[in-house]
A and B are shown apart, each in its own frame.
Chain A
Amino acid sequence: MKLDNRNGFSRREFLKKAGLLGLSISGAGAALEVVFGDDVLAASTAESSARIRLAMVVDMSKCARKEDCTDCMTACHRAHNVPSISSKRHEIKWIWKEPFVNAFPEQRDGRLRDDLVSTDFIVLCNHCDNPPCVRVCPTKATWKRPDGIVMMDMHRCIGCRYCMAACPYGSRSFNWMDPRRALDEKTINQEYPTRTKGVVEKCDFCAERIDHGRLPVCVEACKEKALVFGNLSDAKSEVSLQLAGRFAIRRKPELGTRPEVYYIV
C-alpha cells in the first residue's frame, strides 16, 4: 500500500481499492446469476421432453370454407387489446392472413394446386420448439415455457428488437408508439392489459387462458372448427390424432426451428 505524507494510506489508494471491490461484487453477482439463476436455461434448445408440448393444427380445408372470414383474428385482437393501426409500417398483429406463396415462400416456384394460389393462410407465432428469438434475447424477456409456449414478459423487454430480426416468420410486432393512442378506451378489454410503447409483442397461445384450463380465443372463435389446439405429447389428443391421420406442412422447417403450428393442406 502506498503511503501518503500523512499516516495511513492515500485517498487515491482507497478509491482504487473501493472501486475494485465494487466491481468484483457486481461481477460475482452476475456470475452467480448465470450459474444459479434458474431462468438462464430459458434458451434450452433441447427437444421438449416435457409431458406437455402444446401445438396447433390449422385445417385449411375447413378454414377456406368461409371466404373473407376474420373471426379468429378479430376475437384475438379484441381480447388482447391489439390496436388497429392503419400504417403498414407500424401495425401490430398477432394472427392474420397471408397468401400461401407468402406464408410458404419456398413453394413459390412451380405449379400449385389451383385453390392454393388464391387461398389465404392463417399465420401466427409458431411457438417453435427451437426458437431463434429466445436464443437471441439479451434479457430473457422472451423464453420457452416447459409446456412449449414461447412467452413474452413485457415488463422486462428493453425494445432492442433483436427477436424481430431473429424470427424467420415475421411473427413479432413492435410498439412504435403508445398503443393506447390507437385503442378506444370504451371498448378496451379491461381484464387484459394493453402494452406500452417500446416493447415487442406477439401471440402467446393465450397463456393466461391455458393456465386456467381454457382454450385460446382464436380456437374458440372459429365457427368452422378449423383451429385445433392441444398437447402433442398426448397421443390421444385431438392434435395428435389429426396429425397421425393427415398430411400437414409447417413453415420453413428446414431452418431447424421446429415450428409447432401445423397446416393440413
Chain B
Amino acid sequence: MHERIRIFGGLALFIALAAFPVWYARATGRANVVPEPKLVNAGKECVNTRAFMREYHMTMLNEWRDEVIREGKRIPVKVAGMEYQKSLTGTCMKCHANKADFCDTCHNYLGVSPTCWDCHNFPKEQKHETR
C-alpha cells in the first residue's frame, strides 16, 4: 500500500518535472509566441519562395558555399530579371539587413546558434549580438 503511494507519487513528480518546459510555456503564455521576422527591403524578390527558405535556407546556403568555394562556380542566381551572387553577405544580408529583427528572431526562438556570422560580415546598425 505504502509502496504504491510512493511509486505513483514519484512517477507523477517525474512526469511533472520532465514535462516542465511544455506546461510552463503554456501556463505563462510563452507557447503562443511565434517569431515574426521583419523583412527590411520588402519589394525585392528573394532568391527563393518563403516556404522553401523556411525549410531549406540552411541546405541552400551550404550548397552555395560548396559551389562557390569548392567548385569555383560563381554563377549568379537570376530572380525577376536581377542577378544575385551566391553570397550570404553579398546577397542575403543586403536585403535582410537587420540581423536581429530577421535572422535572430527565429534562431533564438528555436535555440540554434549558426556560426556563419563568426566570419561572414553583416550590417551593424543594431547593437545586439546573439549566440
CB pair B121–A190 under 8 Å, yes or no, is: yes
Identify which of B10-18, B41-49, B64-72 touches chain A. Answer: B64-72
Question: Closest CB of chain B to A205's CB: distance in Å?
Answer: 12
Chain B nearest CB, measured from A43 CB (Å): 14
Give chain A nearest CB distance to B109 CB in angstroms: 25
B89 within 8 A of A: yes
CA distance A145 to B90 in the complex (A): 23
- Cβ of A33 within 8 Å of any chain B Cβ, yes or no, is no
Given A190-B121, A194-B121, check contact A155 B89 (CB 8 Å): no
The answer to whether A206 has its CB under 8 Å from any CB of chain B is no
Q: Are A207 and B72 touching (Cβ within 8 A)?
A: yes
Closest to A199 in B: B119
B28 interfacial by beta-carbon distance below 8 Å: no
B120 in the interface, Cβ–Cβ < 8 Å? yes
B119 touching A153 by the CB < 8 A rule?
Answer: no
A221 at the interface (CB under 8 A from B): no
* B120, chain A: closest CB distance, angstroms: 5
Q: Is the CB of A151 within 8 A of B118?
A: no
Bound complex: CA of A154 vs CA of B65, how far in Å? 10
Q: Are A196 and B72 in contact (CB under 8 A)?
A: no
Cβ of B32 under 8 Å from chain A:
no
The reply to whether A191 and B118 form a contact with Cβ atoms under 8 Å apart is no
Of residues 184 through 208 on chain A, the ones whose CB sits less than 8 Å from some CB of chain B are: 185, 188, 190-191, 193-196, 207-208
User: Known contacts being A211-B74, A212-B74, is A193 close to B120, with CB within 8 Å?
Assistant: yes
* B72 engages A211 (CB within 8 Å): yes
Q: Which residues of A contact B90 (CB under 8 A)?
A: 191
A47 close to chain B: CB less than 8 A: no
Instruction: Return the contact of B124 from the options A147, A185, A195 (Cβ within 8 A).
Output: A185
B115 at the interface (CB under 8 A from A): yes
Q: Which residue of A lies closest to B65 (CB)?
A: A155
For chain B residues 36-60, which have a beta carbon within 8 Å of chain A? none
Residue A39 interfacial (CB < 8 Å): yes
Report the interface size for chain B: residues with CB under 8 A from the other chain: 13
CA distance A57 to B117 in the complex (A): 36
Please determine whether A39 and B70 come into contact, CB atoms closer than 8 angstroms. Answer: yes
Least CB distance from A260 to B in Å reads 17
Tell me the complex Cα distance, A193–B89, Å. Answer: 8
Chain B residues at the A interface, C-beta cutoff of 8 Å: 65, 69-70, 72, 74, 89-90, 115, 118-121, 124
Other than A190-B121, A193-B120, A212-B74, give 20 A-B pairs with Cβ distance below 8 A.
A39-B70, A143-B70, A145-B72, A146-B72, A151-B70, A151-B72, A154-B119, A155-B65, A155-B69, A178-B118, A188-B121, A190-B89, A191-B89, A191-B90, A193-B89, A193-B121, A196-B115, A196-B119, A208-B74, A211-B74
Provide 25 A-B residue pairs closer than 8 Å at the C-beta atoms, listed in order of the A residue.
Answer: A39-B70, A146-B72, A147-B72, A151-B70, A153-B70, A154-B119, A155-B65, A178-B118, A188-B121, A190-B89, A190-B121, A191-B89, A191-B90, A193-B120, A193-B121, A194-B119, A194-B121, A195-B119, A196-B115, A196-B118, A196-B119, A207-B72, A208-B74, A211-B74, A212-B74
